[in-house]
Structure 1
Amino acid sequence: MLNFKSCMTALAAVLLLGQTLVARAELPDFTPLVEEASPAVVNISTRQKLPQRSAGGAQAMPDLEGLPPMLREFFERNMPQAPRNPQGGRQREAQSLGSGFIISKDGYILTNNHVVADADEIIVRLSDRSELEAKLIGADPRSDVALLKVEGKDLPIVKIGKSEGLKVGSWVLAIGSPFGFDHSVTAGIVSAKGRSLPNENYVPFIQTDVAINPGNSGGPLFNLDGEVVGINSQIFTRSGGFMGLSFAIPIDVAMSVADQLKSQGKVSRGWLGVVIQEVNKDLAESFGLDKPAGALVAQVQEGGPAAKGGLQVGDVILSMNGQPIIVSADLPHLVGTLKPDSKIKLEVVRGGSHKTLEMAIGALPEEGDEMAAAGGGAERSSNRLGLSVVELTDEQKKALDIKGGVVIKDVQEGPAAMVGVRPGDVITHLNNKAIASAKEFTEIAKELPKDRSVSMRVLRQGRASFITFKLNE
């Protein structure tokens, strides 16, 4: 007969086994997904011819002696000796490795622009180890998407999903060629959506914790239904390897780019012609908002769509076509998806009042122009902010495309120094009021409230932004 202690031990074992089985049942089985999707994932290698060097100046291949046989064979295969040119030197080549995936049975392939940029030759290796030379149909550096074409029939293809339906916490899986190891599979979850990265204003990236390394670029990100929801594009790293922060281009964005590249060879995006910035707590207080939200208009390009539509410096955009602007990065994401000449409605706060503006957006220019920085001359004015300012000349106003403002000549100890302004900065607005002269700047500065956030619009190297500070005395 079992005693009480034995019964409890057996019961605990049964409970532990049950918990283990439940945990296993909750984890996804990726096997069917990988078996179905892998044939449509490809390895992409490129070659780019570089300017010739003399034989004496040519770089030697890395010393592979002492490496394990598998690694030595890998490097010898993927970094072959450069061919000799007729003069006896070596033909220098740059090589890169990446991933991609087939989206049509006749051979259209999606990958990253940075995988194939400036390549003289693009080779696509299929899952059956066959290799095909690819033609670049078009590329879009702004979204980092490139469309390739290989000659083929009845090629395996991926299923295209909808990135819009992804939820934070959802399981996702990547297949690619990290460090040249074909068809490596990694999995994780969606960490965030709509991420903006530096210099990437038009892509609302999907952030995941899927292990992505060099060579994964351009490969597909799948949901549990086996549908592609993104293109693995970038990682955040301090070591050069995976650190748990991976970023993918939403497939909705990528397919829109691919369709335009295929039909017209380039990508058209909507454009407002404004410089915006985030609304923090102090700016929200300064502009009379209940909470930090929206996109603060720091600069409006003269003659641009926003200027024609009545948008003004100091407006805070709260929504576009009914879609709320939670953070400032939401605005370029929304505007960029629209076609030029599309009509939009903006809900803005101006001077504490809500307004609705209607306007037509323009086409995003190929290259933006930056205004020149200001400097120089006229009457000085000192004030309680710890600044010494002078008026702008007519030539400086014309160069900066502004009608008024003052330029900072000296910065002493005080509130302005604490928020980082410096000589050469141009101040156009103070406490939500436009500045026409040094005298007017001084008069407005005298009336600034104490112990309350005050905004100041500053131009630095042609770029405008609002900053806030408080006067304690």
Structure 2
Amino acid sequence: MFLKTLWLTFCQLTTALLAVFFIVASLKPHWIKNIDKLLFPSTQVDFNARDNSNDVEKQRYTEVQPLSQRNFRLAAHLAMPTVVHVFTSQNNLRAPKHPFLSDPFLKRFFGKDFELFYPGLKEKNSLGSGVIVSENGHIITNNHVIDKADMIEVALADGRKERAEIIGTDPETDLAVLKINANKMQIIKFGETKSLYVGDPVLAIGNPFGVGQTATQGIVSALGRNELNINTFENFIQTDAAINPGNSGGALVDIQGKLVGINTAIYSQTGSSVGIGFAIPVDLVKQVFSNIATYGRVKRGYLGVQPTDIDRRIAEKLDLNFSEGTYIKKLLAKGPGAKGGLLPGDIVLRVNNTEVKNTQKFLLVVSNLSPGSKATITVLRNGEEKLLQVTVGERPKT
């Protein structure tokens, strides 16, 4: 009997306490807003990387929530104001000729100038995204976004619209640099490619389908993707963050809101995202931007050789038990490589201290060399390794 009474008392007390809790939570929620901090302590966000922050903003972005969600909120807050919409138009495009224009009866009725009534000229509009990278108004986007455009207009995140001029383009990496005359712009902070690992969370920010600025969440699916036949120089970051038409030229950012890539392409049979997107890594972006901002073009290293991957036929011919490296098929007479001692049939193993695993890696490493600099090329010739000192030339414009 005593135990039964004790049990009934416990149940009544518990019910009363729960009732009081729900009443307070409904009528005075601010009384218990910090109770979850006591029960579930969490790591605070470091705001040293963000300028001009204030206590109100800090409180807004450090509210208790799952760590990944909080970081994505902060990343979006920092990066989205730096991403712009890029609108282009191309005039004087001739539309397909209507068959009626060739009708002899209509020509006889309207006269020989009948086609002037239907000139067939139209305007082509396209859209993309871009990222503000300097206080001087420089914007990085994809070359294919602004290629052949007669007019480029940029819409900032705060609603302002500005005409943009092209400072320089680099079709071989599909990058371009624009410039606008505007003030009080927030610029993106650069991250580093070497800090990225497969599995890291990222946000893709852009203007998909023209619906407006959008952030999509994903992870780094792979690094160093090449041989996709998209650009001449390929070293893509692969991500499953949704990238759709209109996202081209937009930002791929890490959880600190720092730029790690420029969204460029997707693999899709429908034209929409299927979870396989590609971004140009930030280290390559910085190199291209620096060259264009300084010289108006990109200066790349050049050896004047025609390399090819080591296939089974070449391996059998040279009695090789490996396939890494690149095979020098031909050389340009009096080119930098020929002057430095490279010969047809050499297998390049290393450029300076960088291992050459295939032809794509070789082209990328050589392109990153400064014209006029000295490079140490390690080759395999007649079964022996040789070191060659080569003066790097400048890659001619294609």
TM-score, normalised via structure 1 length? 0.63
Q: Does 1:37 align with 2:68?
A: no
Aligned to 2:333: 302
Tell me if the contact between 1:43 and 1:124 (Cα under 8 Å) persists in the aligned partners.
yes
Q: Does 1:266 align with 2:308?
A: no
Other structure's SS at 1:175 match: strand
> Which of 222, 240, 243 is matched with 2:253 structurally?
222
Structure 1's unaligned 5+ residue stretches are: 2-23, 59-85, 368-473
Say if 1:287 and 1:303 are closer, same or farther in 2 by CA, change over 3 A.
Answer: same
> Which of 341, 360, 366 is matched with 1:335 structurally?
366
Aligned to 2:198: 168
Tell me if the contact between 1:106 and 1:155 (Cα under 8 Å) persists in the aligned partners.
no
Aligned-residue identity in percent: 39
Say if 1:170 and 1:310 are closer, same or farther in 2 by CA, change over 3 A.
Answer: same
Tell me if the contact between 2:264 and 2:280 (Cα under 8 Å) persists in the aligned partners.
yes
Q: Does 1:250 align with 2:281?
A: yes
Other structure's SS at 2:232 match: strand
Greater helix content: 2
Question: Pairwise mapping of residues 353-432 of structure 1 onto structure 2 (< 5 A)?
Answer: 353-367=384-398
Tell me if the contact between 1:33 and 1:224 (Cα under 8 Å) persists in the aligned partners.
yes
Aligned to 2:187: 157
Q: Does 1:129 align with 2:129?
A: no
Tell me if the contact between 1:106 and 1:154 (Cα under 8 Å) persists in the aligned partners.
no
Tell me if the contact between 2:208 and 2:244 (Cα under 8 Å) persists in the aligned partners.
yes
Other structure's SS at 2:235 match: strand
Aligned counterparts of 1:170 and 1:265: Cα–Cα separation in 2: 34
> Which of 75, 89, 97 is matched with 1:47 structurally?
89
Tell me if the contact between 1:281 and 1:291 (Cα under 8 Å) persists in the aligned partners.
no
Give 1:286 shift.
4.1
Give 1:121 shift.
0.8
Tell me if the contact between 1:42 and 1:102 (Cα under 8 Å) persists in the aligned partners.
yes
197-206 or 140-149, which deviates more = 197-206
Tell me if the contact between 2:252 and 2:263 (Cα under 8 Å) persists in the aligned partners.
yes
Aligned counterparts of 2:97 and 2:321: Cα–Cα separation in 1: 69
Aligned to 2:10: none
Say if 1:209 and 1:281 are closer, same or farther in 2 by CA, change over 3 A.
Answer: farther
Aligned counterparts of 1:219 and 1:94: Cα–Cα separation in 2: 21
Say if 1:57 and 1:108 are closer, same or farther in 2 by CA, change over 3 A.
Answer: farther
TM-score, normalised via structure 2 length? 0.74
Q: Does 1:207 align with 2:249?
A: no
Question: After the TM superposition, which parts of structure 1 deviate over 3 Å for at least 4 consecutive aligned residues?
Answer: 24-29, 51-58, 86-91, 280-286
Aligned to 1:326: 357
One-letter code of the match for 2:381?
R
One-letter code of the match for 1:214?
P
Aligned counterparts of 2:348 and 2:95: Cα–Cα separation in 1: 55
Tell me if the contact between 1:194 and 1:205 (Cα under 8 Å) persists in the aligned partners.
yes
Say if 1:311 and 1:182 are closer, same or farther in 2 by CA, change over 3 A.
Answer: same
One-letter code of the match for 1:42?
V
Deviation string, structure 1 residues 17-69 (Cα, Å, up to 9, x no partner)? xxxxxxx95745411111221111111110110245699689xxxxxxxxxxx
Give 1:239 shift.
2.0
| Higher relative contact order (Cα pairs below 8 Å, separated by 6+ residues) | 2
Question: What is the aligned residue count?
Answer: 319
Question: Pairwise mapping of residues 54-133 of structure 1 onto structure 2 (< 5 A)?
Answer: 91-133=121-163
Aligned to 1:346: 377
Aligned counterparts of 2:285 and 2:341: Cα–Cα separation in 1: 33
